[in-house]
Every structure is written in C-alpha cells, then in structure tokens.
C-alpha cells in the first residue's frame, strides 16, 4: 500500500512541476531492513516517482560501504539529496509527519541550488574556511522542527563547508542520549555548540560563529 495518499501525491506533483533541475535521491538501507528502513525506502521511492526530474538509487549500507563512505553516511535509514552537486543535505530516520515538508523543501532547493537565506547570511556561509556540521534533532510530531531543519539544509546548499543532517531522535536513541536531547528541535553544531528551538537565521549564524571559535 502506498504511504502517500492520492491527494498528497497530487499536491507534491504540483509542487515539483517547477523544479529547476534534476535531483538525485540516494537512499541507504540494508538487506534485513532496520526499523523504519523499509518505510523510508518506500517513501523515497514514492516521492521520486512524482517527478521526472527526480531519480533514486537504493544502496545497501553494508554491501555498498564504499558509497556510504563517499557520501559520509554513517547510520540508516539515510537519505542524501543531491542536486548539481552533493551539497551535504541528509536525512537520518524517516522524514514523516511535519518533516515531510522538510524533505520537499530540500528537494526544491537542491534542484535550483538557490535558497531563501539572506544575502548577508549567504556571504558569511560562503566565506567559511572551516567545516561546519549541523545535526538537527527532531520528532515527526514537532511542528517547530522543520523551521530548524530547512534552515540548516539551506545553509548546506549555499556553502561547500556546511553539512546538515536531520536526525529523527526516536530512531537514534543513542545519539539523542549522547547529545542530551530532551527537547526538539535541537541543533548541534560541530559537537561543540547547540541551539534549542526554532531559531531565526541570524541566531543560527551566531551559533555557527560560536562553534567555530570553540573548535
């Protein structure tokens, strides 16, 4: 049975009608599919089917270890959204509930390579000379979370130095423990700085500055 009902499929198809370019979805699961791996794969396949511009490849996390390493995939289920280049946009865990909107946003932005960040923000991000890794912890029932996820993903798109992961906290309890996630959204930057709540762009940029000063 399809995960996406016909109504949602139509809306997404409409939304994808003006995609600016091709997008590749690289999905990682494994032979014996993990909790939500099957659903995440199915979701990725269903989304890819809604536009001729979207292609999908499914990899086995174990058998295709080289590919996983190349894309920096270290846990599953994982989805990498790749446009003209690999911008570093990742989803770990299923982008369901409110996070489905984050997935659609990521595809749209990866297709064009353009975002809605401010000019000043883009300039700062493009001038970064050190890597920035943003991990945004979410739950699918959190209405504030896509704000943080989409902001982080946009930052990854404009800057080759930035990688941004959505992490569905319930599927990766060890990471939630490690980063002391007790509320979402929680954005962890380079393991040294963190931000609670759906913060606006300037506040996230300040956090990146803080993280870079610490690392």
Partner 1 sequence: MLDFKLAPQESDAHEKAGERIYDLIVIGGGPAGLTAAIYACRARLDTLVLAGALPGGQPANTDMVENYPGFPQGVTGADLAQLFQDQAERFGARIELDNVMSVDFSSRPFSVSTYGVTYKGRTVIVATGANPRRLGVPGEDKFYGRGVSACATCDGFFYQDRTVVVVGGGDSAIAEGLFLTKFAREVIVIHRRDELRATKIFQEQAFANPKMRFVWDTVVEEILGDETVTGVRVRNVKTGAESVIETDGVFIYVGMEPATEIFAGQLELNEQGYVIADRRQRTNIPGVFAAGDVQDPYYRQIVIAAGTGAVAAMEVEKFLAEQE
Interface residues with partner 1 (CB under 8 A)? 3-4, 8, 11-12, 15, 39, 43, 94, 96-98, 100-101, 104-105, 108, 116, 118, 139, 141-147, 169-170, 176, 180-184, 186, 196-198, 200-201
Cβ of 8: how many Cβ atoms within 10 Å? 14
Nearer to partner 1, 21 or 143 (CB): 143
Q: How far is the CB of 100 from partner 1 (least distance, A)?
A: 4
Minimum distance from CB of 31 to partner 1 (Å)?
Answer: 22
Give CA–CA dist 52/71, Å, rounded: 24
Quote the tokens at residue 82: 């790749």
The phi and psi torsions of 25 (rounded to 5 degrees) equal -105, 120
Residue nearer to partner 1 on the CB measure, 71 or 89: 89
Minimum distance from residue 123 beta carbon to partner 1 (Å): 14
Q: What's the closest the beta carbon of residue 55 comes to partner 1, in angstroms?
A: 21
Question: Which CB atom, from 19 or from 76, has the smaller least distance to partner 1?
Answer: 19
Residue 56 parent element (H or E): strand 54-60
Locate 181 and state its tokens. 């996630």
Pairing mode, strands 193-196 and 132-138? unpaired
> Cβ distance 65 to 33 under 8 Å?
no
């Amino acid at each position: 049975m399809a995960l996406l009902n016909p109504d949602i499929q139509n809306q997404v198809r409409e939304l994808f009608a003006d995609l600016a370019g091709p997008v590749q979805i690289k999905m990682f699961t494994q032979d014996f599919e993990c909790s939500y791996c099957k659903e995440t794969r199915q979701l990725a396949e269903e989304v890819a089917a809604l536009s001729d511009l979207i292609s999908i490849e499914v990899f086995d996390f174990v058998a295709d270890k080289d590919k996983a390493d190349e894309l920096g995939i270290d846990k599953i289920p994982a989805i990498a959204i790749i446009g003209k280049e690999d911008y570093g946009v990742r989803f770990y865990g299923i982008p369901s509930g409110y996070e489905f909107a984050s997935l659609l946003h990521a595809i749209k932005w990866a297709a064009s390579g353009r975002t809605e960040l401010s000019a000043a923000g883009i300039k700062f991000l493009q001038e970064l000379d050190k890597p920035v890794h943003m991990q945004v912890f979410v739950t699918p029932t959190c209405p504030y979370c896509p704000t943080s996820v989409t902001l982080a993903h946009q930052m990854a798109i404009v800057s080759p130095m930035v990688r941004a992961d959505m992490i569905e906290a319930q599927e990766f309890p060890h990471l939630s423990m490690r980063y002391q996630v007790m509320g979402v959204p929680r954005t962890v930057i380079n393991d040294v700085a963190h931000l609670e709540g759906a913060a606006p762009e300037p506040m996230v940029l300040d956090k990146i500055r803080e993280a870079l000063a610490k690392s």
